[in-house]
């Protein structure tokens, strides 16, 4: 009986190759693929962030992402679309390297230890923990990113005029204290948990549905369908928390009193003053950032894994995503 159970619990053949990728390369590939995706979708991230901030300073929110991007180009030229890109890349180098690296490594460990695929509940737990750890580590870069992307919207006399990511982080520590680098850490971790669970844990579910219901085979088409489904779900679930995070990180402290006391205070104030639907302000650019970003992350990750197997091991790579 015991031998029969062990036979039934053999891992899927398509997962065997994953163990051949060294752990440190899992983290490196996770970081590189996420940084590549961040560079591709950065203009939409810029539009989303500026739309979220607009109503908080009394100005009229722009009605479309296109207007935000046009204004950015008008004020700063084409490079205005990539304001804060260096901070975004630094954030992904820390945040996504940690979250995806831990997620893939922990999932592999579970498969090897128990000789079965992790159930959905375990996927969710692993995504929860890895997302929280990555987000907390990456919060300083996230604060710098928000500050740099929204600085151009301020009146000239109030602009911080950061010249680089290092300049932003250094000045924040010098002018506002080191703890300011972790301002908004709670909503940042909360958003990351939602994003990680929705993105990583749901990706496999959408993939399985596409295979069983739509009969889509492994390849680019399958990755696109699963990534888009995962991206839309992630955007819808995480945007209110993302708005709260952005407002807290960009808030001003007047006479020693912060504008918001926490995430729930932000959500309540936005709901009262701007309407509940304002919690999803910037939804279109957010979806246009998250969905393509999810697609690019997984495709780049696949290509890096494929290249490693082809050139380092001389073998054919079987998809593990």
pLDDT digits (tens, 9 = 90+) for 274-301: 899 888 887 887 887 787 888 888 888 8
pLDDT value at position 14? Answer: 44
| Confidence label for 7 from pLDDT (cuts 50, 70 and 90) | very low
pLDDT value at position 318? Answer: 63
| Confidence label for 59 from pLDDT (cuts 50, 70 and 90) | low
- Cβ neighbour number for residue 253 with a 10 Å cutoff: 11
Average pLDDT along the chain: 82
pLDDT value at position 10? Answer: 42
Q: Is the pLDDT of residue 107 over 80?
A: yes
Q: Which class is 11-247+259-313 in CATH?
A: mainly alpha
Q: Is the pLDDT of residue 9 over 50?
A: no
Domain positions in the chain are: 11-247+259-313
Mean pLDDT check: name the lowest of 87-91, 152-156, 228-232, 262-266: 152-156
pLDDT in tens, 159-176: 888 888 889 999 999 999
| Confidence label for 142 from pLDDT (cuts 50, 70 and 90) | confident
| Confidence label for 57 from pLDDT (cuts 50, 70 and 90) | low
pLDDT value at position 225? Answer: 85
Q: First vs last Cα of the chain: how many Å apart? A: 32
Q: Is the pLDDT of residue 62 over 70?
A: no
pLDDT value at position 18? Answer: 46
Q: Is the pLDDT of residue 52 over 70?
A: yes
| Confidence label for 252 from pLDDT (cuts 50, 70 and 90) | confident
What is the mean pLDDT of the segment spanning 120-130? Answer: 89
- Computed from CA positions of residues 136, 140, 141, 146, in that sequence, does the dihedral angle turn out positive or negative? positive
| Confidence label for 39 from pLDDT (cuts 50, 70 and 90) | very high
What is the mean pLDDT of the segment spanning 109-132? Answer: 87
The residue among 26 and 252 whose pLDDT is bigger is 26
d(CA 42, CA 40): 6
Long-range contacts of 62-70 (CB under 8 A, 24+ apart): 64/284, 65/282, 65/284, 65/285, 65/288, 68/285, 69/43
Mean pLDDT check: name the lowest of 37-46, 249-258, 307-316: 249-258
| Confidence label for 214 from pLDDT (cuts 50, 70 and 90) | confident
What is the mean pLDDT of the segment spanning 237-250? Answer: 84
């Amino acid at each position: 009986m015991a031998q029969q159970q062990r036979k039934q619990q053999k891992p899927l053949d398509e997962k065997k190759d994953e163990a051949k990728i060294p752990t440190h390369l899992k983290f490196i590939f996770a970081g590189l693929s996420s940084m590549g995706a961040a560079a591709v979708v950065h203009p939409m991230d810029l539009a989303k962030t500026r739309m979220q901030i607009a109503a908080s300073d009394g100005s009229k929110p722009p009605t479309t992402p296109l207007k935000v991007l046009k204004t950015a180009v008008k004020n700063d030229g084409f490079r205005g679309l990539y304001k804060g890109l260096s901070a975004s890349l630094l954030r992904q180098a820390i945040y996504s390297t940690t979250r995806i690296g831990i997620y893939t490594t922990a999932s592999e460990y579970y498969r090897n230890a128990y000789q079965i695929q992790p159930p959905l509940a375990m996927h969710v737990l692993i995504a929860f923990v890895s997302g929280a750890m990555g987000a907390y580590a990456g919060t300083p870069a996230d604060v710098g990113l928000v500050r740099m992307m929204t600085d151009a919207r301020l009146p000239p006399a109030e602009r911080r005029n950061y010249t680089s990511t290092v300049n932003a982080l250094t000045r924040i520590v010098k002018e506002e204290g080191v703890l300011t680098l972790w301002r908004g850490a709670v909503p940042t971790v909360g958003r990351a948990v939602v994003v990680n669970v929705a993105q990583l844990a749901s990706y496999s579910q959408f993939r399985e549905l596409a295979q069983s219901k739509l009969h889509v085979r492994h390849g680019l088409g399958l990755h696109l369908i699963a990534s888009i489904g995962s991206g839309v779900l992630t955007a819808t679930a995480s945007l209110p928390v993302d708005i709260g995070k952005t407002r807290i990180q960009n808030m001003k402290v007047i006479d020693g009193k912060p504008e918001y006391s926490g995430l729930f205070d932000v959500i309540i104030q936005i709901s009262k003053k701007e309407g509940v639907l304002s919690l999803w302000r910037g939804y279109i650019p957010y979806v246009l950032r998250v969905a393509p970003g999810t697609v690019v992350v997984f495709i780049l990750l696949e290509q890096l894994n494929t290249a490693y197997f082809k050139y380092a091991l001389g073998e054919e790579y079987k998809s593990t995503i």
